[in-house]
Structure 1
Amino acid sequence: MTYHGGRRTQAERDAMTVEIGYALFSAAFAAAVVFGAVAGPALLFDLPDTLEKVLMVTGTTLAPALFVARVVSVLIRFRSSSAEPGRPGRGSADS
């Protein structure tokens, strides 16, 4: 992002707000899908207790890890793409 005397323009603030919303929404969706895929069978079917516990622990471990990884990757990608105004569709409005 370009800084004008240390301040961001309204368009830059809006772009960051949209990108944060996208990062959070897509991360929540991905985490829910992974949790459902891993822990879902334990919730839906009558499985042995050990297998149910393993699936639940795995699902509750993978989902938050995926959530954090997705948010970080989206925001890092946004930060690096906004620093390259020559890329079409990214950066400043005149590119």
Structure 2
Amino acid sequence: MSLHGGRRTKDEQDAFVVELGYALFSAVFAAGVVFGAVVGPALLFDLPGAVESLLWQGGKWLAVVLLAARVISVLMRFRRAAQPSQPGRTNPDS
């Protein structure tokens, strides 16, 4: 919602779309790096079946949790930044 309680302006919608794209891209990248770091030893070395399975499962779940946490944190930070510091007053930079 916009700061005045009505519908979002086109600029606000565009800013949200850009922020959502950044959140998704950075989350997928971070999750991929973590997944690769956790699963990498299972691909490089001949490990026992239980250890290899544990690394695959752990990497998968850690990547999913990191992806969700990253998207949520970026969007929450964007939401907080959209709030005026002094309601009812104009921004001195405007």
TM-score range, shorter chain: 0.7 to 0.9
Identify the range of structure 1 (76-85 vs 33-42) with the bigger mean alpha-carbon deviation. Answer: 76-85
- Partner residue of 1:15? 15
**Paired amino acid for 1:32:** G
Q: Number of residues paired by the alignment?
A: 89
Greater than 4 Å deviation, 4+ residue runs: none
Greater relative contact order (Cα 8 A, min sep 6): structure 1 or 2? Answer: 2
1:29 Cα offset (Å) = 0.4
The answer for unaligned runs of 5 or more in structure 2 is none
Please provide the CA RMSD for this pair: 2.0
The answer for unaligned runs of 5 or more in structure 1 is 87-91
| In 1, Cα distance between equivalents of 2:58 and 2:27 | 18
Percent of paired sites with the same residue: 59
Matches within 5 A, 1:11-90: 11-84=11-84
| In 1, Cα distance between equivalents of 2:56 and 2:81 | 37
- Partner residue of 2:3? 2
Identify the range of structure 1 (46-55 vs 62-71) with the bigger mean alpha-carbon deviation. Answer: 46-55
Identify the range of structure 1 (72-81 vs 44-53) with the bigger mean alpha-carbon deviation. Answer: 44-53
| In 2, Cα distance between equivalents of 1:30 and 1:84 | 31
